[in-house]
Structures are given as structure tokens and as C-alpha cells.
Amino acid sequence: MDIGSLLAYLPLRRFKEPPPVVGVLRLGGVIGDAGPLRPGMTLSTLESLIERAFKLPRLKAVALAVNSPGGSPTQSDLIAKRIRDLAQEHDVKVFAFCEDVAASGGYWLACAADEIFARETSIIGSIGVISAGFGFPELLKHHGIERRVHTSGDKKAMLDPFRPEKKDDLARLKALHKEIHDSFIATVRDRRGGRLKGGDDTLFSGEFWTGKAALDLGLIDGLGELRQVMRERYGEKVVLKKIDGAKPWWRRRLGLGAGLGGRAFDAQGAVSGLLAAAEERALWARYGL
């Protein structure tokens, strides 16, 4: 019996092409270091997961599940750049799927994708820069407390919350904001190109929209959910491979994040964690979540 006849007797199913694989990478939470017990997204915490997503066998695409109110612009840029570098290196298409919110730095991350999808009720946009804080100079004065600050540079104590604001300091802060905002805008223009349909005074004002309105403005490419869209693109047999980091058993039992980094728990760490949690809550609350 020749080889052709032998192969004819073998079950055809053994030679069927294996199903395609899509790596699913979750980008959720505040971007940047949020505190010892509530770590945010940074390149250092995500890099190994991002690399794993692009090294899966039979990989057809990487899907980003984005749910973030923003945070550090630098970390947003670093994470997005790493995703783009690997996408080009492996010649793999990237999709972003916005969940509750992809705003500010969260939208920056979504722009790392070749195509962006959202739900009609998702919150999208907020292409702007913000910094917020509190001022306590009158509180110190009321309680007879003297603030003593000694510096070797006249700008070292800029925007000290225990001193009255100065016009020069505010002007400097606004200049910094503009530089970061310009970088954000350049990223959106580079990634979205001719798909943008609104004017600059609308798109880059810091305003945010629902997914349906964002589609009309060209900020996203369609309305859809990750599993649905990936099956439409790569077939019903597509394998969605979630990429996540394993946590030590004691962190799982205590409900702690994976970013404690071996630091000992102490009172100062607990206070920092509470403050970080409050700041994180404020970021989500800005979008009604």
C-alpha cells in the first residue's frame, strides 16, 4: 500500500487545523502606583503579562479588556508603547474592548489597539490632564501652627498645600499640563488618524461620552463585546486565552493585590493604603461609578 492509500484510511479529524488563539489581557484599575495594598497598573507590574500574551502558540490577535478611569500619563504611555512594540514585532493585531470606563489614561491604553470597541453605556474619552489637591494655610493659621520649609531652590516648595498659592506656581503647573496634554493628543491623532470626526475643541476638551456617542466621534470603531467580536472575526472555535498573574495563597485569602512587593505591613502602610483607596474611589466616582 502506498503512502497516499494509507493516508486515505486515517481519520481526517487528526489533520484538522487547530483553532486560532486570542490572548486576552485585562487592563483594569487605576494607572500608576496606588499604594502598598492597592497596587495600580504600571509597566513593571504588567510587562511580563503583556509579553506572555504575545507569545501564545497559534496566536491570531491580542484583546485588551480595558476598565480604567485613568491615572499616571507616564505609565499609560509606557504600557501602551510596550503593547505597540510587541504587536509590530510579532505582526499581531490588537483589539481593545472598553467596559465600564476607558477614560483619560484608560483611553490612552485603548489607543494601543488597532480597533476599539465598547458597549453603548461605556464611558469613553476625557482626553485631558488634571491634578487635584487640598490647601490648608488658613487651618494652620487658625491653630497657631507655623510651617517651616527650607529649600536650596526657589521652586522646590512649589504648590506646598500648607502655603497660599502663587501665580507663578500656577502658571508653571498649567504649562506642565499643556505639555502632557499635547503628548496625549498626539498619541490619539497617531492611533486614530482619519477616523476622528469631531473638532479639537470637542475631542480634546477633557469631555467624556457614552460608547454610542464616542462611535459617532470616531473615538471607537464599533459597539460590541469581546467574545462576540472575536468569534465574528476568527470563528466560533476561537480560543480566548486569559493572561493573568498568579497570586500567593495568603494574598488570595486576605483579598490583597499582587503588588505588595514584599514590604512589611505597618501603620504607615495602612494609612497610605486608605488614602490611595480614597483617591481611587474619587477617580471612579468622577464617571458616576
The alpha carbon of 210 is separated from its chain's Cα centroid by a whole number of angstroms, namely 18
* Lowest mean pLDDT segment, chosen from 53-57, 80-84, 276-280: 276-280
Q: What is the mean pLDDT of the chain?
A: 80
Is 192 a residue whose pLDDT tops 80? yes
CA 48 – CA 79 distance, rounded (Å): 11
* Distance in angstroms (rounded) separating the CA atoms of residues 274 and 51: 32
Q: Judging by DSSP bridges, how do beta strands 123-125 and 208-210 pair with one another?
A: antiparallel
pLDDT tens per residue across span 95-112: 999 999 999 999 999 999
Q: Show Cβ contacts of residue 176 under 8 Å, excluding neighbours closer than 6 positions.
A: none
**Set of cell numbers at residue 160:** 506646598
Q: Give the pLDDT confidence score for residue 262 in this predicted structure.
A: 43
| Distance of alpha carbon 36 from alpha carbon 273, whole angstroms | 6
Residue 60 has pLDDT above 90, yes or no: yes
| 78 vs 143 pLDDT, higher one | 78
Q: What is the pLDDT of residues 128-171, one digit of tens each?
A: 765 555 555 566 566 666 666 666 666 555 556 666 666 776 67
Q: Which three three-digit cell numbers place residue 78? A: 509606557
| pLDDT of 132 | 57
Backbone angles phi and psi of 101, in degrees to 5: -150, 135
Cα gap 75→39, rounded to integer Å? 13
pLDDT for 151 equals 63
pLDDT over threshold 50, residue 252: no
pLDDT band at 260 (very low <50, low <70, confident <90, very high): very low
Has residue 266 got a pLDDT over 60?
no
In the predicted model, what is the mean pLDDT of residues 253-262? 45
C-alpha torsion 84→87→90→94, nearest 10: 180
Could you give the CA distance from residue 278 to residue 289 in angstroms, rounded to a whole number? 14
Cα separation, 122 vs 105, whole angstroms: 15
What does the pLDDT read at residue 287?
A: 65
Least confident interval from 24-38, 60-74, 139-153, 193-207: 139-153
Burial class (CB in 10 A: 0-12, 13-18, 19+), 125: buried
Q: What is the mean pLDDT of residues 109-125?
A: 97
Domains belonging to the chain, first-starting first, are 17-133+179-285 (3.90.226.10)
